[in-house]
Structure 1
Amino acid sequence: MSAVPFSKISTPLNALFATIGLLVVAALTTQGLTGQERLVFELLLAAIWLAYVLQLSGTLLSRHRWSGGIPALVIDLLAVLVPAAAFLFVGSRDRNLYCAIWLLKPLRDSTFFRLLAKVVANESRNLIGVTSVFGIVLFGAALAGYILERDVQPDKFGSIPQAMWWAVVTLSTTGYGDEIPQSLAGRVLGGLVMMSGIGIFALWAGILATGFYEEVRRQDFVRNWQLVAAVPLFQKLGSAALIEIVRALRPRIVPAGAVICRKGDVGDQMFFIVEGRVTVATPDHPVELGAGNFFGEMALISGEPRSATVTAATEVSLLSLYAVDFQMLSSSSPEIAETIRKTALERRGGPPKE
């Protein structure tokens, strides 16, 4: 059989294999294992390694082998080559430890780590700046600690490299307690270093949090733009008006069979269908609406309760527009608002506005 299907090992299965492998590696370091137990564990590691070999072979033989990107291929190679090299060149006691490279396996398809890489790249200048401040404070604290404590504790602060350990522990506010300033000046210095550490780590956290927020918002904007552009009603808009619509509309996925709105409910939003179909339970007979249509507009125009129950006939991708945003749309794009009003009146049975 071809090995190609093994290139499609799912992310959860990759994570499961890696978890089992790492637990086995940990188990092999415990004392008192019998020879039979050790053999079973090593055979389990070999089975996981073989699965990764087949996955790598499938990736290399597939026409779409680069679809996962270079990092995924590199991780697949390391997962196979590092344990193999350890088996050939490392002693039997430690060779199994090299299977810990499988820690990387759950990362190969992770969108989070791709997002993290983008955030770090985007915020690299700020992160480098804060890291530089950290290094300056670290060396300055070690230098000051050496000067203040070298005569009191020569065994712990007898050199700047020795004092550097105290500075790292204090600046990170870990506080192991193995090195403690004895002089009053040294303790004042320790307090200042602790407060500096809190500020520096807060800056790091703030930069990363802001970077994540901006990147997620950017990705959401691009996704929403693609969804809005797929609605025929908005395709004639210019880019400026489309940006306003993208900011106003909220994407939503509804599973098949779910009720989107019920007759008689008070409505504060209308919906545009991007993909899928919905069923409108009208008094005469059910009406099915597909991609490009909209519904629920009467609640925004007249403020009346919902006139029909709408159910998702299939899984449906929707864009919702709230009443306050509809007022904004009416002022920025009156032609679209007028089209919505005319459609609402036609569905109600009244004459459209001219």
Structure 2
Amino acid sequence: MSARPFLRISTPVNGLLAALGLAAVAALTTRNIGATARLSLELLLGGLWLFYVVQLADTLVLWQAADRRTPIAELLIDAAAVFVPLAAFLLVDSRDQSLFCGIWLLKPLRESTFFRLLGRVVSRAAPNLIGVTSLFGIVLFGASLIAYLIERDVQPDKFGSVPQAMWWAVVTLSTTGYGDEIPQTLAGRVLAGLVMMSGIGIFALWAGILATGFFEEVRRQDFVRNWQLVAAVPLFQKLGSAAFVEIVRALRPRVVPAGAIICRKGEAGDQMFFIVEGRVAIATSSPTPIELGPGSFFGEMALISGEPRSATVSAATEVSLLSLYSEDFQMLSSSNPEIADVIRKTADERRGVAPRH
């Protein structure tokens, strides 16, 4: 029996199961919990552990059946979810055994695309992140050393050594300000102000680097996906590389579920559509609607003549579309007149044999 059906069923509920297990772990640390409640929570943890045992077995079967192409991270997380609590049960004092179920925090991450994206962002931005982290370390140690020299005689219990002053520097750099260690001298307070402002700048740099990295990675993924979609449209396959890149940037992907209306008769149209996958139905005066499939396009009349939509178009099946807005159509017409001529020629033909849409 294939492991994949079980994994498909279990993936959406991994987060919920992990949350239940962690809630049980937290509840078991409560003092004066009743014996019945404790037993119920321990049974819940045991049931979740058995569930994870089955999931690990499924992952191993799939890993072998797929010639070990299953991501190793998923296998490691599933194994840790089983063997870490088991080792705690066998080797650790009973009071703390349930705490090791905290490893289940990793279960929602086993197939998370976000954390893979985060890994790529951090990997690409590593040189800049290391640079800012080095700056943070320099400011941290420098502030600690200066604070020690200024405050050691005034507050020997709090600034009596560089490590003690370093705690103050960390709290101040992060602008947390617990208030447990406060400079008493004027020079110390001036230093504190400078450290606070430095911390704001350093954390802003970290945030800016990561935000830029996320933006670039998402844009790169969108570009690759759009490239693949555009390449599936026959009309664009003869374009040169420069023109093809322009089209990829101009066209915007859209997935429409079966039965949904894509455009309605009488509406003002500001975009046309190219079909990548699926089929659309164009309502006509005849009982049978006209259907268009992959590689076809529609909605061009609204861009060419500026008139309202002349037909209602709906998705006969789930359909993957690429939309081209009017301003991008004008760009396409000027830079690639051969494609614009094909679109206009098709529009002229439809004007005579089919409703304009």
TM-score range (shorter-chain normalised) is over 0.9
Per the alignment, residue 177 of structure 2 pairs with 175
In the alignment, is the contact (CA less than 8 A) between 1:7 and 1:57 conserved in 2?
no
Q: Deviations 1:55-86 (Å, cap 9, x if unpaired)?
A: 11111112137454111111111111100100
Partner of 2:40: 40
AA paired with 1:99?
A: C
Structure 1 counterpart of 2:293? 290
Residues 82 and 98 of structure 1 are in contact (CA less than 8 Å); yes or no, is this contact kept in structure 2?
yes
CA deviation after TM superposition for structure 1 residue 11, in Å: 2.7
Q: Give the C-alpha shift of residue 238 in structure 1.
A: 2.2
Q: Which runs of 5+ in 2 are unaligned?
A: none
Sequence identity (%): 75
Q: Which moved more, 1:226-235 or 1:30-39?
A: 30-39
How many residues were matched structurally?
Answer: 350
Structure 2 counterparts to residues 32-111 of structure 1, below 5 A: 32-62=32-62, 63-64=65-66, 66-111=68-113
Q: TM-score, normalised by structure 2?
A: 0.95
3-state SS of paired residue (1:253) = strand
How far apart are residue 90 of structure 1 and its match? 0.3
Q: 2:135 aligns with which of 133, 136, 140?
A: 133
How far residue 235 of structure 1 moved from its aligned partner, in angstroms, is 1.5
Runs of 5+ consecutive residues of structure 1 not aligned to the other structure = none
Corresponding position of 1:255: 257
Aligned partner of 2:192 in structure 1 is 190
Counterpart AA for 1:267: G
Quick check: 1:8–1:55 contact (8 Å CA) kept in 2? no
Residue 17 of structure 1 corresponds to which residue in structure 2? 17
Aligned partner of 2:334: which letter? S
Query: How do 1:116-127 and structure 2 match up within 5 A?
Result: 116-127=118-129
Alignment counterpart, residue 307 of structure 2, candidates 281, 304, 309: 304
1:328 paired to 2:327 = no
SS of equivalent residue, structure 1 residue 10? helix
User: 2:271 is matched by which residue type in structure 1?
Assistant: Q
Q: Deviations over 1:103-150 (max 9, x none)?
A: 000001100000000000000000000000000000001001101100
Q: What is the CA-CA distance between 1:7 and the residue it aligns to? A: 3.7
1:68–1:174 Cα change, 3 Å: farther
Q: How does 1:141-290 map to 2 (within 5 A)?
A: 141-284=143-286, 285-290=288-293
CA contact under 8 A between 1:5 and 1:58: conserved in structure 2? no
Residue 195 of structure 1 aligns to a residue whose secondary structure is: helix
Cα distance in structure 1, aligned partners of 2:160 and 2:175: 22
CA pair 222-338 structure 1, distance change in 2 beyond 3 A:
same
Equivalent position amino acid for 1:312 in 2: A
TM-score scaled to structure 1, two decimals?
A: 0.96
Give, in angstroms, the shift of residue 10 of structure 1. 3.5
Shift of 1:277: 1.1
> Offset of 1:9 from its aligned partner?
4.2
Secondary structure at 1:31 match in 2: coil
Alpha-carbon offset, residue 3 of structure 1: 6.5
Letter matched to residue 301 of structure 2: M
Please give the alpha-carbon distance, in whole angstroms, between the structure 2 residues aligned to 1:38 and 1:31: 11
Q: What SS does structure 2 have at the residue aligned with 1:270?
A: strand
